[in-house]
Amino acid sequence: MDNAVYIVFSATPTGMGSLIRRATRNRYNHVSLSLSRDIRKMYAFARLYRTIPLYGGFVAESILRYRSFAGTVRVKICRVEAPERELTDLRSLLERLWSERDEYIYNTPAALASLVHLRPDIRKAYTCVTFVQKLLAQYGLAGVRESDSPTVRALEERLAPYVIYEGSVPACTGEWGEDTYPAKTTARYAFYTTARHFGRLALRALGGIA
């Protein structure tokens, strides 16, 4: 058994990803966590559908996200060793999060605030970075702390000693599996889901339930 977790930094092939990279002047704009070296399946907080950029939550990303629609994506993969007990607990946590995924949403305000290194806390809401930081800190891996700067660049610097690969997404076959990213959506559905997403964020920020 490979007793390690894999942290995957990526330059996502979307207009939003390109905008974030220009704003941050960083090569990568997204980070995910995988339990397998082939990174065919990764966990992250990200958009649920390719066609709805502002509606996001907890997703099980297929590697095909990075090999479809806009060519091959550049990634940086870090391998962080983890004791078997922590890995078992982490797998159980990810399974629980997946079963409750409808309760978890993307923390859009925190994504914007991260540009000035702030971290607005909203219940059951994360960005890709705060999610990975929380898991690594919770299991005492790579010296990561949940209080670290909530930026992709800061996490990259922390994990620099663990890099095992940097370049184009490794060639492999894969399936979309549980990843809804390529699903077709209507303009009406996009409007509804985006409005609902921001409504839930507002209610949670104000201490309501959504």
- Does a structural domain hold residue 210? no
68 is written with which tokens? 């479809």
- The pLDDT, as a whole number, for residue 71 is 61
Which phi and psi (to 5°) does residue 46 adopt? -160, 180
- Does a structural domain hold residue 126? yes
- Does a structural domain hold residue 79? yes
Torsion of CA 22, 155, 98, 193, to 10 degrees: -20
Give the DSSP letter string of 43-84. EEEEEEETTEEEEEEEEEEEGGGGSSSS-PPEEEEEEEE--H
- The pLDDT, as a whole number, for residue 68 is 63
What is the total count of domains within the chain?
A: 1
- The pLDDT, as a whole number, for residue 14 is 85
Distance CA 109, CA 205 (A): 10
- The pLDDT, as a whole number, for residue 208 is 63
Domain around 155: 4-205
Say what the pTM is. 0.92
CATH of the domain at 74: 3.90.1720
- Does a structural domain hold residue 175? yes
- The pLDDT, as a whole number, for residue 70 is 57
- Does a structural domain hold residue 60? yes
Give the Å distances, CA to CA, from 98 to 24, 30, 94, 144: 30, 20, 6, 23
**pLDDT digits (tens), the chain, 210 positions:** 689 999 999 998 888 888 889 988 999 999 999 999 999 999 999 999 999 999 999 999 999 888 765 567 899 999 999 999 999 999 999 999 999 999 999 999 988 887 666 678 899 999 999 999 999 999 999 999 999 999 999 999 999 999 999 999 877 667 899 999 999 999 999 999 999 999 999 999 888 666
